[in-house]
């Protein structure tokens, strides 16, 4: 058996009756049973051996020779590399009732022990770092280290970067420039820490995540760890847009010049995604015939373009610093920007109308399912509904992702791209919610309690919207949480978590300064370089090597954690060398 599988021996003790054994994964919604084996009568031969999945509970169904004659049904969650027997028998030779039971022949391994071991290793490293930090409080040690490293120059360079409010953001019209200058000496490390945390998890997930199912993208509806990181990255990009545009406009740059930089940066992101980070390189030299047009960087580029232009065109002087007189001060981070909200709501209406009203040939209107064997196999070619149809119609089947996450579980046959055209509309919504977080920081400058209160309120509001859209259910909601579709509930749920996480990091890093943000702060400062680098060098040593046992979670986890840690170390070295790659 292979990783995430167990061996099941089917022992038929009925001398005159054979049956078919079928199985259905608990993760496969509205799927028919899939035939595993045909088991002859006990007189017809030995036990039949089949490999069964261990990632999710399985429902086993035994059918007799007559169509529709169900003999027995049992649900069981098998353990990895375990050896089991399914015993099928009747109480007596004359009895017609069939009994089935699962017997453990050899106990499964605990495939989660490598995670515990890795956790303890990193806790040990953290303990060592804490001890080193305590040693830094000793004057002779601190003086020697500061003399060797001289971090002041590095901090000066970082704080001069575009992206966060600092002393240079003040202008003569600011009614309290001295307060802003006195309390905002440092770049907001929490933003870079948040970005770095998202990036580190993204790198780990992209490298394989130890081959654990919860470190992979959900097959269709639902949410795993892997499904959180990309929207978090988009969210914090929106926050940075608010702060960076505020910075350059306060410096006196013209909107026309800034607009040109926005278009250029978007173009570079899309170009890098098309040419450098293209997964179809693995099937041969890049050519138009197999070029994947959508992608992560392409979506980032388009999302950045729309949100940055929206912010540039409708931003108002003084609206982001609380200097405008307002009838409702509690909404000073929302009301001055009402044209932006109207635009975003119009985009969301477009997404809803296209998703639920556009006719798709051969598919029910408003279909949100995975196709394949989902929905009992009634719509095998409808993967993604409208979203998949638009991509295949506009881009062509050869220019979108060929192996979506639903491919294995739902046995889909048509390509589907999780970074497609329609989903980009909702990624713009995600970035806009991040933009709102930046407006909160600017509107309540240095009012830490107000900022954290606003973050908490936004998380509650978005959480309530998610609960309504999903009916607090994985599958039965109006709009299920779905990363492949980048559904509205997916946006509100991940943004809810993003506001909570940003609140915690902001409190620990920038308010109380209990945490420096390390080690996530360093990759957060070089996010584009780390992302592109980890994609380009994915199959090169020391990021990957030949394993002794490719069916071991422990070896995969070791390799993936090593590769991810190396990129954190590289980003730290670049930070110390004052090398920062910006687009």
In DSSP notation, 22-80 reads EEEETTSTT---EEEEEEPPGGG-S-EEEEEE-SS-EEEEEE-SSTT-EEEEEEE-PPT
Map 52-64 to HEC letters. EECCCCEEEEEEC
Residue 525 CB partners (closer than 8 Å, separation 6+) = 158, 192, 196, 571, 574, 575, 580
- What is the reported pLDDT for 423? 96
C-alpha–C-alpha distance, residues 479 and 498, integer Å: 20
Q: Which residue do the tokens 């305590």 mark?
A: 134
Phi-psi region of 150 (alpha: psi -120 to 50; beta: other; left: phi over 0): left
Structure tokens given for 285: 């030299």
Residue 12: φ, ψ to 5°: -95, 115
Helix (H) or strand (E) holding 85: strand 83-90
pLDDT, tens digit only, all 583 positions of the chain: 899 999 999 988 887 778 889 999 999 999 999 999 988 887 656 789 999 999 999 999 998 765 567 888 999 999 999 999 999 888 766 667 888 899 999 999 999 999 999 999 999 998 998 898 888 888 887 787 777 776 544 444 444 333 444 433 333 333 333 333 333 345 789 999 999 999 999 999 999 999 999 999 999 999 999 999 999 999 999 999 999 998 888 888 888 999 999 999 999 999 999 888 765 555 566 678 888 899 999 999 999 999 999 999 987 655 555 545 556 666 777 888 889 999 999 999 999 999 999 999 999 999 999 999 999 999 999 999 999 999 999 999 999 998 899 999 999 999 999 999 999 999 999 999 999 999 999 988 889 999 999 999 999 999 999 999 999 999 999 999 999 999 999 999 999 999 999 999 999 999 999 998 989 999 999 999 999 999 989 989 999 999 999 999 999 999 999 999 999 999 999 999 999 888 7
Helix (H) or strand (E) holding 353: helix 338-357
Domains of the chain and any CATH numbers: 5-106 (2.60.40), 189-316+334-577 (no CATH)
- What is the reported pLDDT for 95? 62
Residue 96: φ, ψ to 5°: -100, -20
C-alpha triplet 187, 193, 196: angle, nearest 5°: 125
- What is the reported pLDDT for 175? 35
C-alpha–C-alpha distance, residues 50 and 444, integer Å: 62
C-alpha–C-alpha distance, residues 336 and 207, integer Å: 43
Catalytic, out of 217, 399, 534, 553:
217
- What is the reported pLDDT for 284? 62
C-alpha–C-alpha distance, residues 499 and 385, integer Å: 30
Q: Which residue do the tokens 């293209």 mark?
A: 278
Q: Tell me whether residue 217 is one of the annotated catalytic residues.
A: yes
């Amino acid at each position: 058996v292979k990783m995430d599988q167990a061996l099941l021996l089917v022992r038929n003790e009925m001398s005159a009756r054979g049956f078919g054994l079928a199985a259905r994964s608990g993760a496969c919604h509205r799927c028919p049973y899939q035939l595993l084996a045909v088991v002859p009568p006990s007189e017809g031969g030995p036990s039949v051996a089949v490999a069964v999945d261990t990632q999710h509970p399985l429902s086993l169904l035994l059918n007799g020779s007559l169509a529709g004659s169900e003999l027995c049904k049992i649900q069981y969650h098998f353990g990895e590399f375990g050896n089991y027997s399914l015993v099928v028998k009747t109480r007596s030779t004359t009895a017609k009732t069939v009994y089935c039971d699962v017997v453990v022949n050899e106990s499964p391994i605990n495939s989660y022990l490598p995670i515990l071991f890795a956790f303890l290793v990193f806790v040990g490293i953290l303990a060592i770092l804490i001890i080193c930090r305590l040693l830094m409080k000793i004057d002779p040690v601190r003086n020697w280290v500061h003399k060797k490293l001289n971090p002041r120059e590095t901090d000066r360079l970082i704080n001069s970067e575009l992206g966060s409010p600092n002393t240079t953001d003040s202008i003569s019209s600011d009614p309290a420039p001295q307060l802003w200058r006195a309390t905002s000496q440092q770049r907001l490390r929490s933003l870079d820490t948040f970005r770095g945390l998202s990036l580190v998890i993204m790198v780990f997930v992209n490298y394989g995540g130890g081959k654990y199912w919860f470190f992979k993208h959900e097959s269709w509806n639902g949410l795993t760890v892997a499904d959180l990181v990309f929207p978090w990255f988009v969210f914090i990009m929106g926050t940075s847009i608010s702060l960076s545009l505020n910075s350059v406009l306060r410096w006196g740059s013209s909107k026309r010049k800034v607009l040109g930089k926005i278009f250029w940066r978007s173009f570079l992101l899309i170009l890098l995604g098309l040419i450098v980070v293209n997964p179809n390189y693995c099937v041969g030299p890049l050519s138009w015939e197999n070029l994947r047009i959508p992608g992560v960087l392409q979506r980032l580029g388009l999302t950045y373009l729309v949100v940055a232009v929206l912010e540039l065109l409708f931003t108002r002087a003084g609206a982001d610093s609380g200097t405008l007189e307002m009838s409702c001060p509690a909404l000073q981070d929302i009301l001055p920007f009402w044209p932006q909200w109207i635009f975003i709501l119009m985009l969301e209406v477009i997404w809803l109308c296209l998703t639920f009203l556009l006719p798709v040939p051969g598919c029910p209107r408003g279909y949100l399912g995975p196709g394949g064997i989902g929905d009992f196999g009634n719509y095998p070619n409808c993967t993604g509904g409208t979203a998949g149809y638009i991509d295949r119609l506009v881009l062509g089947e050869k220019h979108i992702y060929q192996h979506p996450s639903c491919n294995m579980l739902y046995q889909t046959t048509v390509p589907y791209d999780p970074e497609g055209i329609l989903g980009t509309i909702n990624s713009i919504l995600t970035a806009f919610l991040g933009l709102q977080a930046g407006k909160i920081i600017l509107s309540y400058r240095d009012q830490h309690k107000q900022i954290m209160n606003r973050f908490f309120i936004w998380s509650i509001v978005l959480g309530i919207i998610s609960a309504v859209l999903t009916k607090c259910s994985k599958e039965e909601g109006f709009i299920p949480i779905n990363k492949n579709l980048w559904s509205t509930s997916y946006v509100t749920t991940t943004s809810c978590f993003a506001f909570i996480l940003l609140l915690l990091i902001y409190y620990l890093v920038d308010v109380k300064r209990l945490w420096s943000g390390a080690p996530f702060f360093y990759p957060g400062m070089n996010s584009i370089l780390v992302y592109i680098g980890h994609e380009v060098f994915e199959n090169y040593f020391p990021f990957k090597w030949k394993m002794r046992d490719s069916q071991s979670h422990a070896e995969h986890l070791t390799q993936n954690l090593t590769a991810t840690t190396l990129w954190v170390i590289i980003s730290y070295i670049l930070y110390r060398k004052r090398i920062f790659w910006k687009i």
